[in-house]
Amino acid sequence: MSELFIQGPNKLSGEICIHGAKNSTLPLMAASLLCDNECILHNCPVLSDVDTSLKILRYLGCRVQRSGNDVAIDPSSADQCKIPDSLMREMRSSIIFLGAIVSRMGKAELSFPGGCELGPRPIDLHLLALRKMGVIIEEDHGCLKCSAPDGVKGTCINLSFPSVGATENIMIAASCAKGTTIITNAAREPEIWDLADFLNSCGAKIYGAGESTVVIEGVKSLSGCEHRVIPDRIAASTFLAAAAITGSTLTVSQIIPEHIAPVIPILEECGCHFDISKSSMKITAPKRLGRVKSVRTMPYPGFPTDAQAPVMAMTTLSDGTSVFIETIFESRYKHVGELLRLGANIKVEGRVAIVEGVSRLSGAPVEAADLRGGAALVVAGLAAQGVTQISGLKHLDRGYESLEKSLASLGADIKRI
């Protein structure tokens, strides 16, 4: 089992190019199932979650080839409608294949997904929406058996919460449905825009992506296309937090600054300065960060829940008290116990975490319990005195492409052993 060893404190400098977005790549790969011929996705990150999606596509009968960050998917030979339990358990996002499979095959069978344990993360919204679209779903001992004997049908769907995954599943299923589907209270995240751009390039008719109401006019078929995955805004936010906590000057490039806009005011409140261009931003951090009055996670364009943990780690060395309010997931403070091992002063009451900045962190053995919590430990370890030893790297590898190599290129003393 590999572990990361960080000798701190580190100062970062230089430029880092951000890889493609995990949370965009996975629904794009699922959506490719609807096409009649080959799709080519550029800027696909090398991540374990992406590898799992490739395994799922191959199991379903697709021909898949990967060359660096380019992935070619030919779904014309897909003939399976079932995803085995072993693959479903590898990642939570596996549920995104449901709408695509049932739309193409008329039926689907899969188990409940696995992945990071973030507390209740129900797929009820996915199932409720698909049922409204004419899909018959039977739940049997953790297995979902779905069929659409009369095909998937367009309808009006009002989401009780702007779920990204549910919005994506509906968009995919509705693209080749009979009639028009209207989603109200749809998610507005950049990944939704990216999925709509891909599907429209394949011949879909999707309007309003990125707004609260999305309209999908069903078409008879989709053809393949070439598409470039958007940059990973959470990876970019993580590097910015790492630069901030280490008092560094760093350029983050190959990004879309608009996508990171919800995080910038928090970093500016801490005393960081930015020089922003069309596809990059340069952060200059002070020697000691100021506190953040309040960070409340919200659906886009609010502060992203995925950036909460790395930014919390950043504030452990701030001058004053910072308050975090997690509104998306119930169990997203699992990194707090490990940050305490490094000398942080954090108190959690329900969905609220209060961070009292300390003068120093000290390296210690810690374990990543989930993806973004693991990133928080790396951020803290870069600024801690001595050696921070991080285990549980399987979580980090789900969402960050060779994180230790990227940080080492910026001057960090970090090794995977």
Tell me the pLDDT band of 114, cut-offs 50, 70 and 90: low
The annotation places the binding site for phosphoenolpyruvate at 22-23
Q: Which residues contact 417 (CB under 8 A, 6 or more apart)?
A: 2, 3, 4, 5
Q: Given the residues 35, 116, 146, 225, select the one marked as catalytic.
A: 116
With beta carbons less than 8 A apart as the criterion, state whether 336 and 313 touch. no
pLDDT of res. 139: 86
Mean pLDDT of the chain: 95
- Other CB atoms within 10 A of residue 285 CB: 24
pLDDT higher than threshold 90 for residue 117: no
The reported pLDDT for the residue numbered 143 is 86
> 25: how many CB neighbours lie within 10 A of its CB?
26
CATH classification number, 22-228, choose in 3.40.50.300, 3.65.10.10, 3.30.70.360, 3.20.20.80:
3.65.10.10
- 3-class secondary structure per residue, the chain: CCCEEEEECCCCCCEEECCECHHHHHHHHHHHHHECCCEEEECCCCCHHHHHHHHHHHHCCCEEEEECCEEEEEHHHCCCCECCHHHHCCCHHHHHHHHHHHHHHCEEEEECCCCCCCCCCCCHHHHHHHHHCCCEEEEECCEEEEECCCCCECCEEECCCCCHHHHHHHHHHHHCCECEEEEECCCCCHHHHHHHHHHHHCCCEEECCCCCEEEEECCCCECCCEEECCECHHHHHHHHHHHHHCCCEEEEECCCHHHHCCCHHHHHHCCCEEEECCCEEEEECCCCCECCCCEEECCCCCECHHHHHHHHHHHCCCECEEEEECCCCCCCCCHHHHHHHCCCEEEEECCEEEEECCCCCECCEEECCCHHHHHHHHHHHHHCEEEEEEECHHHHCCCCCCHHHHHHHCCCCEEEC
How many Å apart are CA 75 and CA 367, to the nearest integer? 39
Give the lowest-confidence range in 88-92, 298-302, 361-365: 88-92
Distance (Å, whole) CA 209 – CA 198: 12
Cα–Cα dist 203/221, whole Å: 8
**Stated length of the chain:** 417
Residue 411: how many CB atoms within 10 A of its CB? 16
Fold match between domain 4-19+231-416 and domain 22-228? yes
Pick the CATH number of 4-19+231-416 from 3.40.50.10890, 3.40.50.300, 3.65.10.10, 3.30.30.60: 3.65.10.10
Above 50 in pLDDT, residue 269? yes
Whole-prediction pTM: 0.95
Separation CA 216–CA 203 (nearest Å): 12
Question: CA 281, CA 275: separation in Å to the nearest integer?
Answer: 6
The percent of residues above 90 in pLDDT, for the chain, comes to 91
Residues annotated in the binding site, as ranges?
Answer: 22-23, 92, 121-125, 306, 328
* C-alpha atoms less than 13 angstroms from C-alpha of 223 in its C-beta half-sphere: 3
Query: Would you list the domain boundaries of the chain?
Result: 4-19+231-416, 22-228
Across residues 104-108, what is the average pLDDT?
Answer: 95
* Residues annotated in a binding site for UDP-N-acetyl-alpha-D-glucosamine: 92, 121-125, 306, 328
Active site residue 143: no
Q: Are 284 and 243 in contact (CB under 8 A)?
A: no
Give mean pLDDT, residues 131-159: 93
Q: How confident is the model at residue 115 (pLDDT cuts 50, 70, 90)?
A: very low
